[in-house]
Amino acid sequence: MKKLQFGLSGMGRIGKVHLQNVQQHSATVSIKGVYPANIKAKKWVEEQGVNHFYETFEDLVNDPEIDAVIIASPTAFHAEQIILAAQAGKALFAEKPIDLDREKVTKVLQVLQQTHVPFFLGFNRRFDPSIEQIKKNILNGHVGTPEIIKITSRDPAPPPLTYIPSSGGLFLDMAIHDFDMACHLMDQKVTEVYSTASVFGDPNIGKLGDIDTAVTTLTFENGAIAVIDNSRHAAYGYDQRIEVFGSKGLCGMDNHRINQSFLANAKGMHQPVPPNFFIERYAASYAKEMTLFVEHLLHKTKPSVGAIAGLRALDLALAAQQSVAEKKAITVSI
Amino acid sequence: MKKLQFGLSGMGRIGKVHLQNVQQHSATVSIKGVYPANIKAKKWVEEQGVNHFYETFEDLVNDPEIDAVIIASPTAFHAEQIILAAQAGKALFAEKPIDLDREKVTKVLQVLQQTHVPFFLGFNRRFDPSIEQIKKNILNGHVGTPEIIKITSRDPAPPPLTYIPSSGGLFLDMAIHDFDMACHLMDQKVTEVYSTASVFGDPNIGKLGDIDTAVTTLTFENGAIAVIDNSRHAAYGYDQRIEVFGSKGLCGMDNHRINQSFLANAKGMHQPVPPNFFIERYAASYAKEMTLFVEHLLHKTKPSVGAIAGLRALDLALAAQQSVAEKKAITVSI
Amino acid sequence: MKKLQFGLSGMGRIGKVHLQNVQQHSATVSIKGVYPANIKAKKWVEEQGVNHFYETFEDLVNDPEIDAVIIASPTAFHAEQIILAAQAGKALFAEKPIDLDREKVTKVLQVLQQTHVPFFLGFNRRFDPSIEQIKKNILNGHVGTPEIIKITSRDPAPPPLTYIPSSGGLFLDMAIHDFDMACHLMDQKVTEVYSTASVFGDPNIGKLGDIDTAVTTLTFENGAIAVIDNSRHAAYGYDQRIEVFGSKGLCGMDNHRINQSFLANAKGMHQPVPPNFFIERYAASYAKEMTLFVEHLLHKTKPSVGAIAGLRALDLALAAQQSVAEKKAITVSI
Amino acid sequence: MKKLQFGLSGMGRIGKVHLQNVQQHSATVSIKGVYPANIKAKKWVEEQGVNHFYETFEDLVNDPEIDAVIIASPTAFHAEQIILAAQAGKALFAEKPIDLDREKVTKVLQVLQQTHVPFFLGFNRRFDPSIEQIKKNILNGHVGTPEIIKITSRDPAPPPLTYIPSSGGLFLDMAIHDFDMACHLMDQKVTEVYSTASVFGDPNIGKLGDIDTAVTTLTFENGAIAVIDNSRHAAYGYDQRIEVFGSKGLCGMDNHRINQSFLANAKGMHQPVPPNFFIERYAASYAKEMTLFVEHLLHKTKPSVGAIAGLRALDLALAAQQSVAEKKAITVSI
């Protein structure tokens, strides 16, 4: 059988993760080439055994041998590249967010609907083994109907100040993963969004119009409630926890630790911190989403997380922004 | 030295706990007598070595030998009994809430201010060893300024339906402890209260105008945020957890377990449930508050938790009720 | 119904624990009096509401009103007092060990067999809630046939040097509880005992002929193996853990902690130490064994742990001593 | 800089792990080829981008371009291949054990001493992140002098019966890792070895002269004691735990879990099993040892774990075998 040919756009830290994960499927997939050509990471790419570099993104999408394109370029290029690739008939794996602008996202959705290309949006956390287990527990009825969902999502440190203006702010840049998670686990329409937010760390974050601390409450159609708390400065590392409470019990996910060692002394029992970095913490989910993407292409099945999920998470993030700005609960149907 | 003479009003389950805890101070305190006389628990009281029963509450407060009165009668009697005892010059330990009615509570506060009797309000959880440790960690700066406080407080089962109409509802009956806890740990004025609530269990709870599920967000003056989630039906037992997140770290309290056994088999690692009942779970805090009350009397020091704390928690509970009723965030200064 | 009348011999720290635990049964049991009369603890005893003091132990056992005697005197008096009380027809609750001398223990057994008085030996740990759960898991077949039992038993600090000469040494003084635990959980004859031991702390312990560190392996008739490790200086507190491994899984007991608080910071996740003292750690088991003793007397049932268990644990401790002295495995049938 | 050229011998499950780990060093290392040529795994190897297959092991060691040889062939070939490669001047990474026969191991040591080739023995567990942390804690004095070491090492299932006759038995096949671990952590001579062992699972294991359950006690020169317990049938998965107890505290390693999910319900709190397979559990240590091997070659430093460690662990395993056979403690100086 002929192998699938992949092209990759973007060779930053996430692009590299995807390249290595694709190579785990060397039995069925080849990486034909990478765009852009003049990347800093060129040497690294060649060491991985990939030697073809496209001069332009158009060259990549117009290469007739390419079956699928992986988009891990900066957010500002996502929408445009998705549209070009979809119009060229390529299957697509795209990093989130599709765009920070609701109109552009809507435009992307239209193109995807018209072109019918397979599209997988990289909400990788859905494929974390612990989160897959939570979802399984819900579907198997182990906790009954979910009534309260709690998501703790705290970064160890804020992004560079220079990144903040183009980031979309805490809700669109960071909490969007958590909004997707709440929707993924609850599978209900949101009817009300309330957020309260502050700046506790670097005051420049506030001067740039952003926040570093937020608590968001989502009320769902059936009365279920999700609470998401975010911070940009968890001193103890990257804090990623989930709880789903229902009539029959509670399921969830604890933090990982960098290793399973412990030390007990006169001061108490001590255990190591969580992994500090999302790429490390979610290594398994990045690998799993790529495995699923390849399987979807091989078996011509539909990806479970598409562009609609991206729009939904964006809408929740925008409502959260509005709630903070207007200091009130926002009625929605998302 | 002459021993302190205590009189007890109310011999329900909490009254019994207080009686036994007072007896731990037999070196310095005697229980002179108990009101009412015709209680079901009379035999039990006599077995504890207490043989005097007052016919009326007035008999108790007018007994010149009595130094202090412990009020553990039904909520409806609290305000009246506190006022009578205070006017008789007795030191007071009273169960919460002072009353469900804000005006009555204000009246009690006035009497207490006029009479200057020592008054200790039974927000026992403040004296739980784990919660004392949280407070110490905050005061010692171990987590920096608290930015996000999360309180999970879930009962294993709702109260009897017959109790609900006089209970004041979930916020005044149950969450009031959690509101006090948020204030105790944060030590800041609350500026905004937002609650969203549902009925997921017995629909009769809803018919009685109450709820069994609620998530409340408190925003504090300095931008800090507290989130309290409540449920009346935690299948796995009484769930009592706290987290305090600040710039330097996170401190908190995990659930207890009924014992420290474990079982590992092909299905995983299994550990026992939490204690099912608040009297069992907070046994140490009930004992500690009584020890502190006795010490305050012996050393003529002021109790750390007085009637003001009761009013404050009540006001937050009332604001939460209003938020649910009006489906909006309530601006306050509490 | 007339209450049972108890007499207590010995009012050290364990005697006090027993007195308070008996008082929990005030509905069915009265404490008639305490021996000796001139105890330092007299004031404390009177504060507990007990006012009768016997001049001699003979006075106590000859008091015809006394139904049962609790022996918590120093070890050197145990055998003699048990014999006197048994010959006076009193039911007996005795602290372990019966004696450090095998012959004396055998003599006690004879007297108990002749007099048929109810006899409960205070191997309290058997009644710890976690250990009861382990035993239940074994009996219910949850781990299959036990194949490997591991007992960790480490004191936070050695006893005073002055106590060591009369203590019987680490195996008879401390590990004897663990030997009883191994027998209790395994319910098989021991065929081989091997111990290896050292002094790592105060070298004076070695000069007094004792050890502070030991690992003992017991091989049972069916091939099952128990390993007990002991130390006299666990810096992190009193370490009491058990594991039972069998064909179907593993069950066991973790350490308690002084509270359930936690602190996470840049150095990791920190939790409090275990309780430092056996009376604190095993408070529930001391209470439970007294409850059972009272129930045995009320319902005329036979205590589950009698003098034979004391002899068996002593024999294992003596074999462990011999193994260390002779540097070889000892073949036994215990 | 020219890349290092590696040749691999053996393409079973461990050989594949090594191949993939070497490919992580593609910046500095190339895999020149693999022996044998007619392997079942040929397709898999080619998919990894390796296309050269040696007809004989001699072809591999005589290839002048090869700098280093990785030996992951069946145990019976280890000694012979190590000798051939060493005599050809190749640097060596070899899987343990060197051989089951003490004389052959001694011969290998002689050749390695004569040829001075770099030699790294694959006691991979030493490089597990948790175990590295334990070692660090010991070296940093965090637990004081180690006094008691406990190693729990239990396989989820016995090997196929057909493998047992050539395996060397439980001590040489399985416990040898644990003996190495005890030596690695204690860094003291062993003076006494005592083992007691049984067959609790498939009785055919016993008929083949092997055991499936063993507890081994090692006494060290300074009085420290190590206890190793082994089983071939841990129903709950691969159980790998370590504890090091010293005068200042306790450090160690808990089991991993297949994910960090949890489920709490009326029966208790449930968490997933450990990884079931050593390759999964020790994935990080396999990767780390290869990283270190490459670094040793690049920087011409000496591997920390050489052939002497293999001989030492073998000698302890042989002494454990003797102890079981002769039912006595064996005096040694290992």
Q: How confident is the model at residue A70 (pLDDT cuts 50, 70, 90)?
A: very high
Dist. CA C246–CA C11, nearest whole Å: 42
The region, left, alpha or beta by phi > 0 then psi within -120 to 50, assigned to residue B74 is beta
Widest CA span in chain B:
67
Q: Which amino acid is at B279?
A: I
Which residues from chain A sit within 8 angstroms of residue C269, using beta carbons? Answer: 236, 257, 270-273
* Nearest-10 crossing angle of helices D283-299, D129-139: 70
C295-304 long-range contacts, Cβ below 8 Å, gap at least 24? C296/C118, C296/C120, C297/C4, C297/C67, C297/C68, C297/C91, C297/C118, C298/C4, C298/C28, C302/C118, C303/C118, C303/C119, C303/C120, C303/C121, C304/C126
CA-based nearest distance D217→chain C, Å: 8
Is A273's Cβ below 8 Å from some Cβ in C?
Answer: yes
Which residues from chain D sit within 8 angstroms of residue C217, using beta carbons? Answer: 194, 196, 215, 217, 227
Is the CB of A267 less than 8 angstroms away from the CB of C273? yes
Q: In whole numbers, what is the pLDDT of chain D averaged over residues?
A: 96
The residues near A51 (Cβ < 8 Å, ≥ 6 apart) are: none
The region, left, alpha or beta by phi > 0 then psi within -120 to 50, assigned to residue B144 is left
Average the pLDDT over D153-177 and give the result: 96
Amino acid C41: pLDDT: 84
Dist. CA D40–CA D54, nearest whole Å: 14
Is the CB of A260 less than 8 angstroms away from the CB of D137? no
- Give the tens place of pLDDT for each residue, C72-126: 999 999 999 999 999 999 999 999 999 999 999 999 999 999 999 999 999 999 9
Out of C47, C134, C256, closest to residue B27 by CB: C47
Q: In percent, how much of chain C has pLDDT > 90? A: 96
Out of A131, A259, A264, closest to residue D250 by CB: A264
Is D157's Cβ below 8 Å from some Cβ in B?
Answer: no
The residues near D39 (Cβ < 8 Å, ≥ 6 apart) are: D11, D45, D53
Q: In percent, how much of chain A has pLDDT > 90? A: 96
Dist. CA B233–CA B235, nearest whole Å: 6
Q: How confident is the model at residue D161 (pLDDT cuts 50, 70, 90)?
A: very high
Backbone angles phi, psi at B193, to 5 degrees: -125, 130
Residue D1 pLDDT exceeds 80: no
Is C102's Cβ below 8 Å from some Cβ in A?
Answer: no
Which residues from chain D sit within 8 angstroms of residue B257, using beta carbons? Answer: 269
Is the CB of D272 less than 8 angstroms away from the CB of B268? yes
Is C250's Cβ below 8 Å from some Cβ in B?
Answer: yes
Give the 3-state secondary structure of residue A87: helix
Q: How confident is the model at residue A41 (pLDDT cuts 50, 70, 90)?
A: confident
The residues near B135 (Cβ < 8 Å, ≥ 6 apart) are: B126, B184, B185
Backbone angles phi, psi at B239, to 5 degrees: -105, 115
Dist. CA B94–CA B290, nearest whole Å: 11
Structure tokens at A333: 């149907």
Helices (H) and strands (E) in chain A, counts: 13, 14
DSSP-assigned letters across all residues of C165-194: HHHTHHIIIIIHHHHHHHHHHH-S-EEEEE
With the C-alpha atoms ordered A138, A142, A146, A151, is the resulting torsion angle positive or negative?
negative
Amino acid B295: pLDDT: 97
Structure tokens at C221: 């008739």
CA dist A229 → A122, A264, B225, B229 (Å): 22, 31, 9, 13
How many other CB atoms sit within 10 Å of the CB of residue B132? 17
C79 within 8 A of C104, measured Cβ to Cβ? yes
Structure tokens at B4: 């302190």
Amino acid C270: pLDDT: 98
Average the pLDDT over D73-102 and give the result: 96
Dist. CA B122–CA B71, nearest whole Å: 10
Q: Which amino acid is at C281?
A: R
Interface test with B, best of A153, A213, A218, A229 (most B CBs within 10 A): A229
Looking at the DSSP bridge assignments, the partners of residue A231 are A154, A213
CA-based nearest distance D137→chain B, Å: 23
Give the helix, strand, coil percentages of chain D, each rounded to 5.
Answer: 40, 25, 35
Amino acid A86: pLDDT: 98
Is the CB of C213 less than 8 angstroms away from the CB of D148? yes
Give the 3-state secondary structure of residue C44: helix
Residue from C235, C270, C276, C269 nearest C255 by CA? C276
Q: Which amino acid is at D213?
A: T
Out of D248, D259, D265, closest to residue A130 by CB: D259
Of all helices (H) and strands (E), which one includes residue C323?
helix C307-326
DSSP-assigned letters across all residues of D47-96: HTT---B-SSHHHHHH-TT--EEEE-S-HHHHHHHHHHHHHTT-EEEEPS
Amino acid C234: pLDDT: 98
Contacts of B among chains (3+ CB pairs under 8 A): A, C, D
- Give the tens place of pLDDT for each residue, D216-267: 999 999 999 999 999 999 999 999 999 999 999 999 999 999 999 999 999 9
Dist. CA B263–CA B261, nearest whole Å: 7
Residue A85 pLDDT exceeds 80: yes
Is the CB of C219 less than 8 angstroms away from the CB of D196? yes
Average the pLDDT over B84-101 and give the result: 97
Least confident stretch, B175-184, C215-224, D46-55, D321-330? D46-55
Is the CB of D265 less than 8 angstroms away from the CB of A258? no
CA-based nearest distance B137→chain C, Å: 8
Is the CB of B142 less than 8 angstroms away from the CB of C251? no
Residue D286 pLDDT exceeds 90: yes
Give the 3-state secondary structure of residue D287: helix
D143 within 8 A of D251, measured Cβ to Cβ? yes
C12: Cα within 13 Å, side-chain hemisphere: 9
CA-based nearest distance C249→chain D, Å: 5
Out of C217, C233, C327, closest to residue D217 by CB: C217
Dist. CA C183–CA C119, nearest whole Å: 19
Out of B235, B236, B266, closest to residue D236 by CB: B266
H helix intervals, chain B? 13-23, 42-47, 57-62, 75-87, 102-115, 129-139, 164-167, 169-170, 176-186, 203-207, 278-281, 283-299, 307-326
Residue reference for tokens 């709820």: B211
Which residues from chain C sit within 8 angstroms of residue B44, using beta carbons? Answer: 27
| Strands across the sheet containing A119-121 | A29-35, A4-9, A68-71, A91-94, A119-121
Residue from D141, D151, D169 nearest D75 by CA? D169
- Give the tens place of pLDDT for each residue, B272-327: 999 998 999 999 999 999 999 999 999 999 999 999 999 999 999 999 999 999 99
Which residues from chain B sit within 8 angstroms of residue A149, using beta carbons? Answer: none
Out of C147, C199, C200, closest to residue D213 by CB: C147
C228 within 8 A of C218, measured Cβ to Cβ? yes
C209 within 8 A of C202, measured Cβ to Cβ? no
Total CB pairs under 8 A between chain A and C? 45
Q: How confident is the model at residue D41 (pLDDT cuts 50, 70, 90)?
A: confident
Backbone angles phi, psi at D70, to 5 degrees: -110, 120
Q: Which amino acid is at D15?
A: G
Give the 3-state secondary structure of residue D304: coil
- Give the tens place of pLDDT for each residue, B197-229: 999 999 999 999 999 999 999 999 999 999 999
Amino acid C37: pLDDT: 82
DSSP-assigned letters across all residues of C71-122: E-S-HHHHHHHHHHHHHTT-EEEEPSPS-SSHHHHHHHHHHHHHH---EEE-
Q: Which amino acid is at D95?
A: E
Residue D40 pLDDT exceeds 90: no
Dist. CA C91–CA C69, nearest whole Å: 6
Amino acid D147: pLDDT: 98
Is the CB of B272 less than 8 angstroms away from the CB of D269? yes
Give the 3-state secondary structure of residue C5: strand
DSSP label of D37: S
DSSP label of C125: G
Is the CB of C49 less than 8 angstroms away from the CB of B48? no
C237 within 8 A of C156, measured Cβ to Cβ? yes
Residue reference for tokens 């549902």: B198
Dist. CA A240–CA D187, nearest whole Å: 39
A247 within 8 A of A147, measured Cβ to Cβ? yes
ipTM for the whole complex:
0.95
Which residues from chain A sit within 8 angstroms of residue C270, using beta carbons? Answer: 267-271
Residue A38 pLDDT exceeds 90: no
Is the CB of B234 less than 8 angstroms away from the CB of A219? no
Residue from C152, C154, C241, D266 nearest B262 by CA? C241
Is the CB of C223 less than 8 angstroms away from the CB of D198? yes
Dist. CA A158–CA A172, nearest whole Å: 14
Chain B residue closest to A229 (CA)? B148
- Give the tens place of pLDDT for each residue, D183-223: 999 999 999 999 999 999 999 999 999 999 999 999 999 99
